[in-house]
């Protein structure tokens, strides 16, 4: 349960960093995406699982699992996965993050945070 609490707290911090106007849009995007990943990991942990870090693809697996762990709808999963792919591209190309893409990533992180907290709160009220 400590891991879940730490991941939720980390996601809150990452969302706060993503809202900051003091850093670049790329850093803000990375923070918002980091929150999404932490929330997906928290949902896995809440169900007794975790993504394997010893093999590639753990971010994709964690995002894909959101349908089962939190009941996230398929369209949202597709969008979150698109943000994951964009994050990978930005990391390796140095591309600039457009304001609309940043806004969407932050909004997705905030929505996923609300969903995650609501679902976890029903099972462990003191964690969320």
The angle that helices 99-123 and 74-93 make with each other, rounded to 10 degrees, is 130
Q: What is the pTM of this model?
A: 0.92
Please calculate the CA angle 99-33-57 and round it to the nearest 5 degrees.
130
Mean pLDDT to the nearest integer, 17-23: 96
Judge contact between 79 and 108, C-beta under 8 A: yes
Judge contact between 62 and 42, C-beta under 8 A: no
Q: Which of 12, 67, 17 is nearest to 38 (CA)?
A: 12
pLDDT class of 11 with cuts at 50, 70, 90: very high
* pLDDT tens, position by position, 52-96: 676 667 889 999 999 999 999 999 999 999 999 999 899 899 899
Judge contact between 29 and 97, C-beta under 8 A: yes
Dig out the tokens for 115 from the structure: 């969903």
* pLDDT tens, position by position, 26-53: 999 999 999 999 999 999 999 898 876 7
* pLDDT tens, position by position, 111-125: 999 999 999 888 878
Domain parsing of the chain, residue ranges:
2-123
| Homologous superfamily of the 2-123 domain (CATH) | Nucleotidyltransferases  domain 2 (1.20.120.330)
Mean of pLDDT over the chain: 92
């Amino acid at each position: 349960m400590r891991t879940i609490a730490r991941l939720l707290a980390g996601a809150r911090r990452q969302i706060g960093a993503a809202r900051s106007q003091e850093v670049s849009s790329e850093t803000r995007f990375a923070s918002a995406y980091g929150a999404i990943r932490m929330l997906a990991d928290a949902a896995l942990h809440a169900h007794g699982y975790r993504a394997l870090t010893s093999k590639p693809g753990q971010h994709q697996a964690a995002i894909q699992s959101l349908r089962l762990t939190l009941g996230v709808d398929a369209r949202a999963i597709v969008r979150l996965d698109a943000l994951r792919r964009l994050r990978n591209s930005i990391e390796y190309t140095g591309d600039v993050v457009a304001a609309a893409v940043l806004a969407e990533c932050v909004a997705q992180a905030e929505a996923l945070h609300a969903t995650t907290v609501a679902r976890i709160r029903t099972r462990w009220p003191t964690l969320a």
